[in-house]
Every structure is written in C-alpha cells, then in structure tokens.
C-alpha cells in the first residue's frame, strides 16, 4: 500500500486518475445531502447576518464603479 502511495506522488498530474462515483452513488449522495441540509434551509436567517450580507452587496456594487461589472 505504501508503495502505491509513493508511486502516485511521482506521477505526472495527467497520469493520476481521480476517484469517480457512478450515477447511482451520486444520486444516493445527493439525496442524503439534501435530507441533511433541508432543515437548515428552512431556518430563518439571523437578522444581523442578513444586514451584513446586504451591506456586502451594496459595497460590491459601489466598488464596481460605472462601466464595470462585479
């Protein structure tokens, strides 16, 4: 096993195969993540956090200046 890891370190990036998930695994993972995060999505946003996000948007819009896009 250690020799496999050592071999991977010396391979060029285009030679390294990245792990992949088949479609069934991706779908299952997606459903599990959705079930995990769905309750969080329905929670109200803290008013102070919402205010800060609005301020960030306003600052970004004003820093883009005329003729520039954010």
pLDDT of residue 2: 54
pTM over 0.75: no
- Which residue do the tokens 């970004």 mark? 60
Other Cβ atoms closer than 10 A to 49: 9
- Taking the chain (70 residues) in runs of 10, the rounded mean pLDDT of each run is 61 77 95 94 91 95 67
Element (H, E) at 29: helix 23-41
* Alpha-carbon torsion angle 36, 37, 39, 43, nearest 10: 150
């Amino acid at each position: 096993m250690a020799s496999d890891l050592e071999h991977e370190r010396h391979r060029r990036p285009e030679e390294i195969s990245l792990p992949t998930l088949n479609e069934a695994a991706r779908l299952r993972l997606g459903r599990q993540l959705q079930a995990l995060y769905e309750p969080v999505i329905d929670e109200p946003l803290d008013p102070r956090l919402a205010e800060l996000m609005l301020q960030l948007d306003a600052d970004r819009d004003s820093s883009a200046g005329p003729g520039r896009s954010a």
